Amino acid sequence: MPPAMQYTQLGRSGLKVSRFCLGTMNFGPETSEADSFAIMDRALELGINFFDTANVYGWKKGEGLTEQIVGRWLAQGGGRRDKIVLATKVYGEMGTAPNQGRLSAYHIRRACDESLRRLRTDVIDLYQMHHVDRATPWEEIWQALEVLIQQGKVIYAGSSNFAGWHIAQASEVARARGLYGLVSEQCKYNLLTRLVETEIQPACERYGIGLMPYSPIGGGLLAGTGRRGGAERLRRESEFAKREREKHASALEQYVALCTELGQEPADVALAWVLSRPRVAAPIVGPRTMEQLESSLGALEIRLGSDTLEKLDAIFPGYQPSPEAFAW
C-alpha cells in the first residue's frame, strides 16, 4: 500500500494542495499521451491534487503540446477537473511576433485565453509568471492579472524563477493596488542548489508565499544508481548533467554512502529533505514513467532526524539568510 497523501495550505492562502505537485513537463516530449493519461489517473488515485504545467511545455513553439495533453485528459470527464488544482505558466515565447512572449499586459491576457483553450477549462487555479520580466512595470503586470481574476479566468497568482527582491517588489505593488498578491514561488531547490536560502526563502516567509521546488532530486544527480538513478538515466544525461556529476562527485559519493547507512533510496532522502525545508508547500515531481511517480511517495514516510540533517549540511553546505550569508 502506498503511503497516504498529505496536504498543506499553499502559502498563506486557504487552498489545500497535496505535498507533491505533479509536474507535466515530460508529457509529450518524453512520455506518450496514453502513458501521460495513465500517470495523471494514477496521481489522482494516490491523492495528488496539484498539477503543474506551462504554455511552453512540449517545446514546439506556439503549440502548447503539454497543455493540450492535459486538456484532453480533463475532457474525459469523470470529475477530473473538479478534483485538481490546475497550475500553468506564462512568459515564454509562443510565436515569433514581438509580443508573443514575456509579461506585457498584451501577452498575459492573450496567453491566458490560449492556455484556457488548450486546457479545455474555464479557469486556471494558479497562474504563474514563469520568469521575471525586467522590462515590464509591475503596475502593468498586476493590472492584467487583476482583469483576469475579475473575469473569473484566474484564481491565484504565482511566480517562478524570481529573486527575493522581485518577490518583495511584486508583493508591495500588489498590496498598494489592494490585491491579494503572490501565493507561490516555483524555484530550483535541492541539496545541490541551496542559494534559495539566502533571499528567496526569507522573502517567501515574510510575504506568506509557498515554495514549489522544482528539480528536487537535482535532475537525477541525487538519485544515485538506485531505483530512480539507474543505467538508463545515466545514458540519457545531458553534457551539462555529466559535468555537474563530475563537479560534485565527492559529495555525491558521501551522500550515497549516508543513504545506504540510513537504509533509504537516495532519491527518497532528497525528496524528504526538500519536504522538510521552511516554506516548502509542494515539491514538483515530474515523472517520465509510472514507476517514477509511484516511487516518489516513499519520501512521505521518511523523517530526517537532526543528526541526519547535520550530516547532509556537512556534505551539501547551505546558506544563512542574507546578509549573514556573506557578512557578519
- Asked if 20 and 282 touch (Cβ cutoff 8 Å), the reply is yes
Query: In angstroms, rounded to a whole number, what is the distance separating the alpha carbons of residues 180 and 258?
Result: 43
Q: How many CB atoms lie within 10 A of CB 225?
A: 12
* Full DSSP string of 228-280: TSSHHHHHH--HHHHHHHHHTHHHHHHHHHHHHHHTS-HHHHHHHHHHTSTTB
Active-site choice (57, 91, 207, 214): 57
CB within 8 A of 320, min separation 6: which ones?
Answer: 197, 198
Query: In angstroms, rounded to a whole number, what is the distance separating the alpha carbons of residues 174 and 89?
Result: 19
User: Catalytic residue at 207?
Assistant: no
Catalytic residue positions, numbered: 57
